[in-house]
Amino acid sequence: MKIDDWSYKEDYVRGCIKTCQEKNHIQQVSFSTYHDALTQVCFTCNLVRTTLSPDILKECKKSQQLSNFVKSTKNEKENK
């Protein structure tokens, strides 16, 4: 799943949600009241579109990198 490095305006994300819905794409949409952000995960497009701030996105990417590192380290230990 590709997560973009920038945040979109809410109108753009809503437009993507509508377009994907019209094309019968499999998608999950959520709104965070904590972050005041709309996020679309389109499994057909294989994209995540969000209105989250760039700072929050950077933190998410760091967490994802750490998570991937932990998974790869765990797999290496299991294969020994």
pLDDT digits (tens, 9 = 90+) for 1-23: 776 656 799 999 999 999 999 99
More confident residue, 64 or 16: 16
Read out DSSP for 10-68?
A: HHHHHHHHHHHHHTT--EEEEEETTTTEEEEEETTTTEEEE---HHHHHHHHHHHHHHH
CB count in 10 Å sphere of residue 74: 10
Residues in a beta bridge with 2: 47
pLDDT bracket for residue 53 (50, 70, 90): confident
| Residue 16 near residue 42, CB atoms below 8 Å | yes
Is the overall model pTM greater than 0.95, yes or no?
A: no
Please give the pLDDT value at position 58.
Answer: 78
